[in-house]
């Protein structure tokens, strides 16, 4: 009998383990899809869609991941992001043990792709948010690579390139497993070489040292050599190499050579299958034609870039470059209407970009933000559509004066509130920062619950506050009642009668206090979008969070963050 029980236990254990791993046939399926996403994307999509309906949960997850990957490669980033977020939610709710390799690998793959979606969209704070949130699921070499990519995008080239190189050095030269091909392993390293090359081109823009362009070309050639070694996707590999070398030539000021390389796109029709690659060729050619004084051709290619941007939404910096080229070209052609139009578009886009990152912009060529502003404003001024009379100017000056007075008054009130918050935060360091329960000795209404229950609820709430359970979106009255072992009726009475505030007010105070303290103590938290901050403290949208924050503090989150930045 004992032997039979032991056998059953072994069989159950084996079944559970097998459910957490793919068999050899399934592994070969996923490896094949991974390769075909590059060489035959439509076939890859069809096969990924098929296994996404599998009864095997783990195989189904892999299918969903490769479907999202397909849309990523098709430049449908928003839809790809939606699929990935749904998949991450499913993985986290699955029966897969969180410590298992299958769970960690799947989650790591999803976060890696989600990171690059936000990076490509210019949403660096969101990219970092997911990277930090799931850091334990991201291998160290991937973390270094992704963190380095953000640093490069924000203008910190020295540390960024160092991290990219560290990611390259710490990536193991994997032994080929079931269904794996050497070419896919080579592609992994080729992508890393190209990332370092791109970083060196960006570094050149800041330093103007041509040695960095030589370094960039070295890594580009090394990446291409790896791919061509096994004749893997040679047409597209050669096309990308020429595009990158053309950019380096343009950065050196050799626009004739650069244009010659860009024109070689005709040899590689496969470019048409990748919209983002088409965009880079179009913008590069527009840049060359502009500097070679061929305005009509420059406008033609920049317009092609803008048309495709409406589909890809990548990238705002390059879109600004296209707008600026068209502004200058139309101005040279004396087409003041279109020059004015694109100058305005440039200024509007600059405001959007400045909201994303303020330290630096990674342009394709030497387009300085301040120069674009100056040139755009000059063109708008020269248009001179509106001539104001002296009376009109006087009225405007009067309105401005009145507006300034009220603005100054409002700012002074905000400053007082800000200083009061900082003072309270300092005081809270020496007291119980979570004690939001009233200790007032004023006469309270007659209570309907006994003292023992009051004490029990108070202790339970204190424990939840210490665990920061209020950050959970599910922190509702019923949730809390269950946690403190009472019912919602008694808990509601406790808030209304004992501490004299509603449960909603209590929750809002805890969350806003948490945000105030974290923004004060952690400078990196100030880089998050309001949506990211809202989600961290349990709100679904930024609008609700901003309303609650203003209600609690009398100032907006943006004002508070700005004052902290200026104070520190």
Domains recognised in the chain with CATH numbers: 21-138 (1.25.40), 272-387 (1.25.40.10)
pLDDT digits (tens, 9 = 90+) for 339-363: 888 888 888 887 776 655 443 333 3
Confidence class of residue 200 from pLDDT cuts 50, 70 and 90?
A: very high
Per-residue model confidence (pLDDT) at position 258: 96
Separation of alpha carbons 504 and 491, rounded Å: 12
pLDDT over 80 at 443, yes or no: no
Residue 387 confidence (pLDDT) above 50: no
Q: Is the pTM of this model over 0.95?
A: no
Q: What is the dihedral sign for C-alpha 161, 162, 167, 172? A: positive
Q: 290-314 as b/e, with b when 16 or more CB fall inside 10 Å?
A: bbeeebebbbebbebbbebbeebbb
Confidence label for 546 from pLDDT (cuts 50, 70 and 90): very high
CB 353 within 8 A of CB 316: yes
Residue 1 pLDDT greater than 80, yes or no: no
Residues 471-483 pLDDT 10s: 999 999 999 999 8
Cβ atoms of 169 and 155 within 8 Å: the answer is no
pLDDT exceeding 70 applies to what percent of the chain? 77
User: Per-residue confidence at 283, pLDDT binned at 50, 70, 90?
Assistant: very high
Average pLDDT over residues 20-48: 84
User: What is the 3 state secondary structure string of 355-403?
Assistant: HHCCCCCCCCCCCCHHHHHHHHHHHHHHHCCCCCCHHHHHHHHHHHHHH
Mean pLDDT for 551-562 is 88
CA atoms within 13 A on the CB side of 301: 23
Which tens digits make up the pLDDT trace of 228-262? 987 878 998 999 999 999 999 999 999 999 999 99
User: What integer pLDDT is reported at residue 409 of this predicted model?
Assistant: 56
Indicate the pLDDT class of residue 312, thresholds 50, 70 and 90.
confident
Reported for 99-108, long-range contacts at CB under 8 A and 24+ positions apart, including other chains, are: 100/20, 102/20, 102/21, 102/22, 102/58, 103/20, 104/137, 106/58, 106/61, 106/62, 106/65, 107/134, 107/137, 108/134, 108/137, 108/138, 108/139, 108/142
Q: Phi and psi dihedrals of 440, rounded to 5?
A: -65, 145
- Tokens 């088409």 -> residue: 278
Per-residue pLDDT, 360: 33
Q: Which residues contact 491 (CB under 8 A, 6 or more apart)?
A: 457, 477, 480, 481, 484, 503
Residue 390 has pLDDT above 90, yes or no: no
- Three-state secondary structure call for residue 554: coil
The answer for residues whose C-beta is within 8 angstroms of residue 55's C-beta and 6 or more apart is: none
Q: What is the pLDDT of residue 444?
A: 42
Is pLDDT at 408 greater than 60 in this prediction?
no
Which string of DSSP letters, residue by residue, matches 62-118? HHHHHHHHHHHHTT-HHHHHHHHHHHHHHHHHSSS-TTSHHHHHHHHHHHHHHHHHH
Q: d(Cα 290, Cα 330) in Å, to the nearest integer? A: 11
How many CA atoms lie within 13 Å of 247's alpha carbon, on the beta-carbon side?
28
CB 161 within 8 A of CB 136: no
Give residues with Cβ within 8 angstroms of 344, minimum separation 6: 376, 380
DSSP state of 486: S
- Render pLDDT for 477-531 as a digit per residue (tens, 0 to 9): 999 999 889 898 888 888 888 888 899 999 999 999 998 888 888 888 888 899 9
For residue 372, pLDDT over 70 is answered with no
Whether pLDDT at 393 is above 50: no
Digit-coded pLDDT (tens) for 161-191: 988 888 778 776 555 454 556 677 788 888 8
| Rounded average pLDDT over 92-107 | 84
203, pLDDT greater than 80: yes
Average pLDDT of the chain to the nearest whole number:
80
pLDDT computed for residue 103 by the predictor: 83
- CA distance linking residue 98 with residue 110, whole number of Å: 15
């Amino acid at each position: 009998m004992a032997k039979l029980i032991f056998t059953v236990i072994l069989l159950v254990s084996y079944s559970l383990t097998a459910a957490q791993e793919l068999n050899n046939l399934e592994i070969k399926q996923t490896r094949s899809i991974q390769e075909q996403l590059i060489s035959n994307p439509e076939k890859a999509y069809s096969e990924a869609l098929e296994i996404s309906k599998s009864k095997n949960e783990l195989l189904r997850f892999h299918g969903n991941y490769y479907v999202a990957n397909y849309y990523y490669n098709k430049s449908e980033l928003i839809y790809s992001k939606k699929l990935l977020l749904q998949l991450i939610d499913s993985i986290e709710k699955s029966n897969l043990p969180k410590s298992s390799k299958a769970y960690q690998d799947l989650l790591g793959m999803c976060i890696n792709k989600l990171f690059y979606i936000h990076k490509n969209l210019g949403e660096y704070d969101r990219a970092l948010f997911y990277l930090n949130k799931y850091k334990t699921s991201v291998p160290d070499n991937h973390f270094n690579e992704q963190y380095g990519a953000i640093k490069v995008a924000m203008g910190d080239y020295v540390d960024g390139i160092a991290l990219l190189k560290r990611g390259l050095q710490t990536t193991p030269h994997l032994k080929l497993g079931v269904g794996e091909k050497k070419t896919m392993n080579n592609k992994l390293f080729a992508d890393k070489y190209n990332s370092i090359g791109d970083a060196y081109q960006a570094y050149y823009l800041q330093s103007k040292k041509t040695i960095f362009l030589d370094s960039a070309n070295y890594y580009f050639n090394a990446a291409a050599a790896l791919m061509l070694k096994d004749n893997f996707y040679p047409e597209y590999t050669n096309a990308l190499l020429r595009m990158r070398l053309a950019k380096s030539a343009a950065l050196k000021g050799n626009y004739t050579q650069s244009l010659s390389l860009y024109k070689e796109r005709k040899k590689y029709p496969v470019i048409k299958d990748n919209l983002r690659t088409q965009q880079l060729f179009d913008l590069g050619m527009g840049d060359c034609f502009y500097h070679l004084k061929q305005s009509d051709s420059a406008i033609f290619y920049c317009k092609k870039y803008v048309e495709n941007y409406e589909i890809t939404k990548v990238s705002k910096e390059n879109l600004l470059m296209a707008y600026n080229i068209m502004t200058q070209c139309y101005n040279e052609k004396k087409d003041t209407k279109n020059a004015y139009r694109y100058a305005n578009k440039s200024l509007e886009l600059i405001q959007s970009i400045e909201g994303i990152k303020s330290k630096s912009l990674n342009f394709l060529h030497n387009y300085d933000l301040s120069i674009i502003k100056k040139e755009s404003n000059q063109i708008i001024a020269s248009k001179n559509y509106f001539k104001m009379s002296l009376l009109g100017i006087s009225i405007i000056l009067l309105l401005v004066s009145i507006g300034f007075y009220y603005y100054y008054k409002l700012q002074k009130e905000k400053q007082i509130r800000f200083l009061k918050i900082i003072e309270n935060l300092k005081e809270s360091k020496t007291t119980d920062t979570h004690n939001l329960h009233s200790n007032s000795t004023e006469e309270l209404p007659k209570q309907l619950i006994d003292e023992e229950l009051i004490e029990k609820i108070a202790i339970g709430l204190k424990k939840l506050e210490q665990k920061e359970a209020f950050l959970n979106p599910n922190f509702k009255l019923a949730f809390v009642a269950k946690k403190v072992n009472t019912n919602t009726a008694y808990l509601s009475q406790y808030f209304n009668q004992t501490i004299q505030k509603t449960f909603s007010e209590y929750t809002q105070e805890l969350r806003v206090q948490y945000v105030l303290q974290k923004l004060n103590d952690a400078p990196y938290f100030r880089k998050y979008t309001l949506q990211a901050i809202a989600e961290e403290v349990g709100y679904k949208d930024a609008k609700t969070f901003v309303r609650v924050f203003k209600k609690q503090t009398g100032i907006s989150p943006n004002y508070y963050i700005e004052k902290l930045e200026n104070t520190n």
